Structure 1
Amino acid sequence: MRLTRRGLAAAALLLPGAACAQARGAGGAAGLVTAPTMPCADRPGDIVGLLLEGTGAPGASILGFGQAFRPGDLPRGAALGARLADGTPLRVQADIKTRHADGSARIVLVALAAPPLTEGGTAGVVLTRDGAPPGPAFDAAPILARRSAILHLADQRFDLLAALRHGLAQGAWRRGPLWLEGRVEQPVPLRGVTSLRLVADVALRADGEMRVDLWLRNDGAMQPGGGAVGYAMRLLIDGREALAAEIPRQHQYTGWGRLVATGGPPPFPRHDAAYLAEAGATPRYDLTTGVQARLLNQLAARTATPAWAAPLGARHLAQQMGQSGGRPDIGPMTQSQAAWLQTGDPRAAAYAMGQAEAAGSIPWHVWDTAEGRWLDTQRWPRLWTDPRGGTPPRGLAQPIPGDTGWTLAPSHQPDLNTLPWLLTGRRACLDELLAQSAWCVAGRWPLRRGEAGRPGLAEGVNLVRGNQVRSAAWLMRQVGNAAWAGPDGNPTVAWLRQVEAANWAWLRQQIPAWTRAQGEAHGWIPGEYGEPGMLPPWQQDYFASSAAAAARRGQADARAVLGWMENFLAGRFLAAAEGFPPHDGAAYLLAVNADPEARAPLRSWSAIAAAMREKGISNGEGWRRSQGDYAQLALQSLAALSDVTGSVEARRAYGWLVEAGAPYTAIADYQRNPAFNITPRDRPRRPGLRRGCR
């Protein structure tokens, strides 16, 4: 496969701040990049500040981004406003996609008319709740009259703007005084293959510019004629080639796309990460630590290679998804996403957005063609998308191919699109988030998932029972993120909200029985693991991160589960008086069952400690069994417990561990890899660098 040279230049526009990323990449490898100081949201009606970085675009250029809001900050009926730090108002448009239970806005797609900025110059902007009522949608007719967007795909021709006019009559994705966006979507049968779809999000801006987010999704399922397809494509914008590629073979259940635009990139927005944590959108990352410039330069160097632009490329994701170890894509979010959030740096943003696109090449996209939505277990209650599922209704009409280059593994799946969707509002990222989350349910073995219709909580959609705890952690992370961040009224989101609620309710229902079985050391989620009688505590920390995310967003059952886990998560570092060495709290394995055949957990800290000494897996007074990021994982779960539930015991345990000298817990370790740089609200690692606003 190839992408033409002109296509490469156009494709660079898909990455927010791509021009900035290249310029910044020339900086020295030494030193740190830290979060910028945000403008003060200190006037009546103010909500949150953000920082715009200039790209050389003219004044009044329109930029678009996503913004998550805390409950109550933008009430129903209030109009979003925007101002500069000196009070100068800016034109703004808000398209609300998701609301909190109280009716206030949760996820909003924002369009903003930027002030004049030189390249690299910055301006603070404050979003407010006291904006003027939104004006009428701008007249897009002049733009439609003078612009064109033509796709040539094999021997077929598609006029995207003509299709857009028809689509807008059915309803716009975004409509207002600054931004008009609609979706062009239609099947593209090629040489007997019926599974290919054209999906293009076309946006027109009041500054006269246009962008096209073009995707070719070979994901149609449960119908005859699906399979791999090859083709050549060319996208012409205003008569000039913007994108071209030759695809010898695109496997079914995959997609690829690029975002191209007229004009130069508008200013780049840097979000307030502390506010996003308060809104429940992200973990609470430490904004005092900084990220090594060397890491950001490495990311920029990768995005500059020709291989990065290749359609359907992996872009440094682990294609053998079961690969273990300290991977940069495993955690509540990926390493580059965490760096983006903690610094606002365009180099990290460009890399994270590139990997968000690369998710399209993973064969977990299963589109229910007849229903026009991602395939779910409501319509297909016995379905298993694994090739072992057989034929419909138990399996897919065409099995997921075995030669895609990807090996799927729920236990090691990265979340590639939640943060990109939240920060950019790019609809293709939402597509990817929903596709992956739907696969998380339909890809689970039905005998573990349960029988739909059977009495009991989570039957038919159980993601935890009989599962590896790390697998359950990431399944609940994906489903929870999609349920919280997905748009109201979307049928896949509505189903995923039911799935998430049922699983947390089921988990809460198990607490009494699990407490009786686990005794004094209770608080760990049972699950399957390769070594009988052993418990990897770091997998409990993974699960705690997903429970904390749901609890932070108001999920009461998740909060109860997280509170129950406190006894184990904190107790493993506080049980010295009961005979359990605190250094073993971050060991690779804990011996929780002396006789695996009996399947009866050890019920006291002293019994677990004795079993660990007998098996030779105890740390004793050192860290020889903790030569990995296990203490980092423990710290992030203790931080979340302290932050979300106010746990005093978690705070005590965090205080001990942060001073204990465990491997990979020095500040420099977090600067090299910021993925788990999560701290309590009032415990930054470099308190002298805590920033206010300006």
Structure 2
Amino acid sequence: MTRRTALGAGALAGLGALFPRTTFGAVTAAPLPTPGPGELVSLMLEGSGAPAGTVAVFGQAFHPGDLPRGQGLAARRADGGVLTTQHDVVARHPDGSARFAIVSIAQSFALPAGRSSGIVLFTTGEEQPADPQLPADLAARQLLLEVMPQSGGEPWRVDLIALLQAQKPEERDLWQAGPLAWQTRLTLPVPLWAVSGVTSLRLVADVAWHQDGTVGADLWMRNDVSMQPGGGAVAYGLRVVLDGREILQLPELRQAQYTAFGRRVGLASNRRPAPVPPLVRHNVTYLASTGAVARYNLPVGVNASLLEGYARSAGGANWNRPFNPRGITQDMPMTGGRGDIGPTTQPQAAWLMTGDRRAAEYCIGQAEAAGAIPWHHWDAQPGASGWLNVAHWPRLWTDGRGGPPPGGLSQPVTDAGGWTPEGAHQPDLCFVPFLLTGRRAFLDELQAQAAWNIMSHWPDPRGGAEANIVRGQQVRGMAWALRQLHEAAWISPDRDPHRTSFAAQEDRNWAWMAAQLPQWSEMQGEAFGRVLSPYEPLTELRPWQQDFLASTAAAAARKGNPQARAVLAWMSNFLVGRFQSGNQGFNPRDGVAYIIANAGQGQSAPYRNWAEMGRETRARNWSNGKGWQRTEGNYAQTARMALAGIIDVLDTAEAKQAYAWLVGSGAPFTQASDFARDPTFNIVPRGQV
């Protein structure tokens, strides 16, 4: 069924809408065109100064039924002019309609930098079949990559376009295959002699052609092959020559095992730098209604100083240095106020809320930098060829305590380059960048992290091949591990076997939790709804960790998972009740305290009623009393987020009442100015924006 989405303050007339705009000191996105009857979704193109004909490529999620199988996709400007459009479906809903597609649009007009133009997508005609034939213009070009041994000698040289020409069309690993954009993938092991006998390095090259004459590649050196002799850190040089022009030279790269390093390169047909396409600003309200992202409070905006900080970082001298962490917290177990912990990261929330180029470039840079995190484990064994998984390695634990294979890795993670990956504080660096750009390398990163969340979990509580990643975890670890798993399952390509594996593993985890609910309810009495962990003291409950898990359950439920919905409904008894049990002796202000009492010392079961929890929270001096002295962090923000998710999914009157109370309570860091400074948790219920 096609939806009509009304957004903004009316249609924009062609060019001329300044982007972004600033309101009350915060940057907000300019209004989008209003789709007409039967149209799908509006977007905004922000000019880069590229000439007419430049092709923009981006990712787009769709509602079920909006883009049926076999239906074509077109775009129009707000003034009615039609733009040439191509879409390549990556994943489909159960009814066969597009869930996620890579969309290409030819900019039919010159759009100066700093100016923007609204467009609207709509269905028309028939879906164009994929064309596996190599475009003639691409076949006429030359793209050479050289890996230079550090010990001297001849480099390993590969002509990527010549390799494509030698392939049979039906063998090509296509990503885009149409008249506007064509992209395919080449994966090659790097010869041992080029890298001093190291067996773990492979080249993954996404070679692309655009109708505007641009030819390029997203080149990744993935030192991630696992479970075979000879893997390890590697030193080499890298050189890329396109059409006879050197466009990349990195003479000394030192790369740890289980990491990836990537760079995009390209040239126009005249051997000049490729034009920078216009930036696509997505309709975040539409994306939220598909379940792809949370429902952000867009009118609040983001402080300009935050965006300026992203620009300063991305413009710094070291930003493009290989393996620069680009602002990602390397010591992941580190606690404290961090902008990378949440349903997504602070910069990505800022990008979604504003569409601002500064935030976009910063987030894309961090998604590239995620390759340096040593959680990439590729299985090249015969019959595997994918990220390490429990189907082939049921007892494998990537932690150093796993021992020798098959209990642990053939080469333990020893050269981590300053990184300490850790599940309870892991950031979600690549889902939103992949969702908005459609860049295939970011899907690799998303899948690698999802697979690591399974294989890094101790096999005993994991149940070996059962892949239970919630049993035996911290509650926040459950939240972020399931977040990565459900995102990878939802957006991975239909033809990718990883999608089937991730979806089955996600379903098993939510189903396991749902099966525990009767027992947990019996144990917890009237205050049921608390997910407890054997790795946390039974005497203490941190409600903000419950909020984290609720955000993931809500996200999965909004994407259609019924077991996640059941878990969220069960959790809502506590998450809502903490603000509505004053008559039972629990101070509503303590619903956002850092810690509340959960059990008595030496007890083996949690408190069963609100009165006990309230009394003991006060007795242990953890209560807010009549103030907010125990709410010194963003705990009220996370509670608002959890309640917003419950309202979105369950639409209960009790959740709405609790949300209204919290919004009006004056709890710390819940004013619009607070959320403008840090938009990470600025998530609201359906209907508020």
Classify the TM-score, shorter chain.
Answer: over 0.9
Determine if contact 2:489/2:500 at 8 Å carries over to the other structure.
yes
CA distance in 2, matches of 1:141, 1:449: 48
Select the residue among 342, 352, 357 that pairs with 1:346.
Answer: 357
Question: Which amino acid letter does the alignment assign opposite residue 257 of structure 1?
Answer: G
CA distance in 2, matches of 1:641, 1:500: 20
Counterpart of 2:451 in structure 1 is 438
Residues 90-132 of structure 1 deviation map (CA, whole Å, 9 limit, x = unaligned): 1111110101111111010111111312222222111112245
Shift in Å at residue 349 of structure 1? 0.4
Counterpart of 1:204 in structure 2 is 209
Correspondence 1:331 to 2:342: yes
Select the residue among 291, 294, 308 that pairs with 1:280.
Answer: 291
Equivalent positions of 1:640-659 (< 5 A) are 640-659=645-664
Shift in Å at residue 140 of structure 1? 5.1
Select the residue among 74, 91, 97 that pairs with 1:81.
Answer: 74
Correspondence 1:421 to 2:434: yes
1:652 partner SS: helix
Question: Which amino acid letter does the alignment assign opposite residue 164 of structure 1?
Answer: L
1:307 partner SS: coil
Correspondence 1:270 to 2:264: no
Equivalent positions of 1:295-374 (< 5 A) are 295-370=306-381, 371-374=384-387
Distance 1:182 1:326, change over 3 A: same
CA distance in 2, matches of 1:568, 1:29: 37
Shift in Å at residue 417 of structure 1? 0.4
Residues 443-493 of structure 1 deviation map (CA, whole Å, 9 limit, x = unaligned): 1001110143xxxxxxx2111112100000000000000000111121122
Distance 1:59 1:304, change over 3 A: same
TM-score for both structures, normalised by structure 2: 0.92
Higher mean Cα deviation, 286-295 or 531-540?
Answer: 531-540
Counterpart of 1:518 in structure 2 is 524
Question: Which amino acid letter does the alignment assign opposite residue 662 of structure 2?
Answer: L
Shift in Å at residue 77 of structure 1? 2.1
Residues 307-347 of structure 1 deviation map (CA, whole Å, 9 limit, x = unaligned): 11111111111111101112111111011110000000010
Counterpart of 1:293 in structure 2 is 304
Counterpart of 2:85 in structure 1 is 92
CA distance in 1, matches of 2:36, 2:545: 41
Determine if contact 2:200/2:257 at 8 Å carries over to the other structure.
yes
CA distance in 2, matches of 1:274, 1:110: 19
CA distance in 2, matches of 1:288, 1:380: 48
Question: Which amino acid letter does the alignment assign opposite residue 247 of structure 2?
Answer: A
Larger RCO, structures 1/2 (Cα 8 Å, 6+ apart): 1
1:306 partner SS: coil
CA distance in 2, matches of 1:534, 1:213: 48
**Where does the alignment leave 5 or more consecutive residues of structure 1 unmatched?**
1-22, 453-459, 685-694
Determine if contact 2:139/2:161 at 8 Å carries over to the other structure.
no
Counterpart of 1:181 in structure 2 is 183
Shift in Å at residue 134 of structure 1? 2.4
CA distance in 2, matches of 1:88, 1:64: 19
Moved over 3 A (4+): 27-30, 135-142, 528-532
CA distance in 1, matches of 2:402, 2:326: 30
Higher mean Cα deviation, 66-75 or 85-94?
Answer: 85-94
Determine if contact 1:164/1:202 at 8 Å carries over to the other structure.
no
Shift in Å at residue 168 of structure 1? 6.6
Determine if contact 1:469/1:528 at 8 Å carries over to the other structure.
no
Select the residue among 113, 117, 124 that pairs with 1:119.
Answer: 113
Shift in Å at residue 249 of structure 1? 2.3
Shift in Å at residue 163 of structure 1? 2.0
Distance 1:448 1:136, change over 3 A: closer
Counterpart of 1:613 in structure 2 is 618
CA distance in 2, matches of 1:436, 1:509: 27
Counterpart of 2:12 in structure 1 is none
Counterpart of 2:271 in structure 1 is none
2:124 partner SS: coil
**Where does the alignment leave 5 or more consecutive residues of structure 2 unmatched?**
1-17, 149-154, 268-273
Q: Give the percent of matched residue pairs that are identical in Structure 1 and Structure 2.
A: 49
Counterpart of 1:9 in structure 2 is none
Distance 1:93 1:29, change over 3 A: closer
Determine if contact 2:307/2:359 at 8 Å carries over to the other structure.
yes
Determine if contact 2:472/2:535 at 8 Å carries over to the other structure.
no
CA distance in 2, matches of 1:247, 1:516: 61
Distance 1:278 1:24, change over 3 A: closer
CA distance in 1, matches of 2:132, 2:187: 24
Determine if contact 1:280/1:553 at 8 Å carries over to the other structure.
yes
May I ask how many residue pairs the two structures share in their alignment? 652
CA distance in 2, matches of 1:474, 1:679: 20
Shift in Å at residue 60 of structure 1? 1.8
Counterpart of 1:10 in structure 2 is none
Select the residue among 29, 37, 41 that pairs with 1:35.
Answer: 29
Shift in Å at residue 598 of structure 1? 2.4
Determine if contact 2:233/2:415 at 8 Å carries over to the other structure.
no
Residues 265-321 of structure 1 deviation map (CA, whole Å, 9 limit, x = unaligned): 111110000000001100000111010111000000000012111111111111111
Correspondence 1:49 to 2:42: yes
Question: Which amino acid letter does the alignment assign opposite residue 103 of structure 2?
Answer: V
Counterpart of 1:101 in structure 2 is 94
2:572 partner SS: helix
1:570 partner SS: helix
Counterpart of 1:473 in structure 2 is 479
2:105 partner SS: strand
Question: Which amino acid letter does the alignment assign opposite residue 159 of structure 1?
Answer: D
Select the residue among 594, 597, 602 that pairs with 1:588.
Answer: 594
CA distance in 2, matches of 1:274, 1:632: 20
Shift in Å at residue 532 of structure 1? 4.3
Correspondence 1:672 to 2:677: yes
Correspondence 1:223 to 2:228: yes
CA distance in 2, matches of 1:346, 1:604: 50
CA distance in 2, matches of 1:273, 1:341: 6
Shift in Å at residue 661 of structure 1? 1.0
Correspondence 1:259 to 2:264: yes
2:204 partner SS: strand
Counterpart of 1:239 in structure 2 is 244
Distance 1:142 1:99, change over 3 A: closer
Equivalent positions of 1:627-642 (< 5 A) are 627-642=632-647
CA distance in 2, matches of 1:75, 1:254: 39
TM-score for both structures, normalised by structure 1: 0.91
Determine if contact 1:284/1:679 at 8 Å carries over to the other structure.
yes
Select the residue among 127, 134, 137 that pairs with 2:128.
Answer: 134
Higher mean Cα deviation, 212-221 or 130-139?
Answer: 130-139
1:256 partner SS: strand
